[in-house]
């Protein structure tokens, strides 16, 4: 069994290099060092007595033997993943770890207090949160649950819409005093090409807005607005709870993004996953006023 486990570890490492095309990319994806990947790939090729990669200036390219091995290893990976999903799906114990992937916005502004409440009720279940802008592949068990804005619509995923996230224009109190009440006249924190639906709406509503600072992170935009850099379109669930910000203006149209919980269909009957989904759906439904911007303390701009 130990030999078989080692063989699979070598195959996983080989596949990581094949997918990344470089040792450094494979090392990042596996959470190991560059030197570890270099050493183990060399030892793997020596043991097989075949060259799997051409070492090129731009990275590692598969040889013909490497391409054939890659196709076979992908099939093995798919079988192992499918088996793991089916076995995990039969786990009826309310114990173990739930790996959640989400964005920085939701990891900071939505999850923490609900995770705390969930663990108070189910202390034997541990939570791991992976913050990533890209959706990790649930079919390959990179995560168990995804909390996302929008539904990617993958056939093997089961989705549940659990809320809607409203946005408004916010700024530090000092900006209001300096006459930045009208968004068209104020300095702005923009998102560039990130957060596509929101960025496109902002460009349409205020095409001449002065974007003096840009970031791909809503959490970074929130920090920039607090520091007085400029106005920012922020989710009400974060900004309405921050006493250092004012809601400077509403958006010209109701702008909300759907909040989804997603899992692989084979995990629907796993006890800890089912408990977490049901808990979060109930908790976020109770948060509807906050998520949708109806928090009573911030519905009107502050007066200068």
CATH numeric code, 2-89: 1.10.10.10
Given a contact cutoff of 8 angstroms between Cβ atoms, the answer to whether 77 and 18 are in contact is no
Residue ranges for the chain with pLDDT beneath 50: 1-5, 155, 177, 179, 297-304
pTM for the model: 0.63
Rg (CA), the chain: 24
Could you tell me if 135 and 152 are in contact, meaning their C-beta atoms sit under 8 angstroms apart? yes
Give the span between the Cα atoms of 294 and 292, in whole angstroms.
Answer: 6
SS3 247: strand
Q: Nearest 5°: phi and psi at 157?
A: -100, 145
What are the residue boundaries of the structural domains of the chain, listed by start?
2-89, 93-304
pLDDT value of residue 303: 38
The pLDDT of residue 5 is 44
Residues 228, 128: contact at Cβ < 8 Å?
no
Residue 190, burial from CB neighbour count under 10 angstroms (0-12, 13-18, 19+): buried
The per-residue pLDDT for 135 is 57
Q: What is the CATH number of domain 93-304?
A: 3.40.190.290
Nearest residue to 261 via CA among 109, 83, 135, 116: 135
Q: What angle do CA 167, 228, 201 make, to 5 degrees?
A: 30
Give residue-wise pLDDT tens across range 44-90.
Answer: 999 999 999 999 988 999 999 999 999 888 888 877 776 665 655 55
Grouping H, G, I as helix, E, B as strand and the rest as coil, residue 224 is helix
């Amino acid at each position: 069994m130990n030999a078989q486990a080692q063989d699979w570890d070598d195959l996983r490492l080989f596949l990581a290099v094949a997918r990344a095309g470089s040792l450094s990319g494979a090392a990042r994806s596996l959470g190991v060092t560059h030197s570890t990947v270099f050493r183990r790939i060399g030892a793997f090729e020596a043991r097989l007595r075949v060259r799997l990669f051409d070492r090129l200036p731009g990275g590692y390219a598969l040889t013909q033997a490497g391409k054939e091995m890659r196709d076979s290893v992908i099939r093995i990976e798919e079988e192992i993943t499918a088996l793991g999903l089916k076995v995990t799906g039969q786990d009826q114990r309310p114990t173990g770890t739930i790996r959640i992937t989400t964005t920085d916005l939701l990891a900071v502004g939505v999850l923490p207090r609900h995770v705390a409440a969930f663990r108070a009720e189910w202390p034997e279940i541990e939570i791991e949160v992976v913050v990533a802008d890209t959706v990790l592949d649930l079919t390959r068990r990179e995560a168990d649950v995804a909390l996302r804005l929008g539904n990617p619509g993958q056939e093997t995923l089961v989705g549940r819409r659990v809320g809607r996230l409203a946005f408004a224009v916010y700024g530090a109190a000092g900006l209001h005093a300096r006459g930045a009440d009208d968004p068209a006249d104020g300095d702005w924190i923009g998102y560039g090409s990130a957060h596509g639906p929101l960025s496109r709406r902002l460009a349409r509503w205020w095409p001449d807005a002065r974007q003096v600072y840009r970031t791909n992170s809503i959490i970074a935009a929130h920090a920039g607005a607090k520091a007085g850099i400029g106005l920012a379109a922020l989710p009400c669930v974060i900004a309405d709870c921050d006493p250092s910000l004012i809601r400077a203006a509403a958006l010209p149209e109701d702008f909300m993004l759907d909040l989804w919980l997603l899992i692989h269909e084979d995990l629907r009957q796993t006890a800890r996953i089912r408990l977490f989904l049901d808990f979060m759906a109930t908790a976020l439904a109770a948060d509807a006023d906050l998520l949708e911007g109806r928090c009573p303390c911030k519905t009107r701009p502050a007066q200068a």
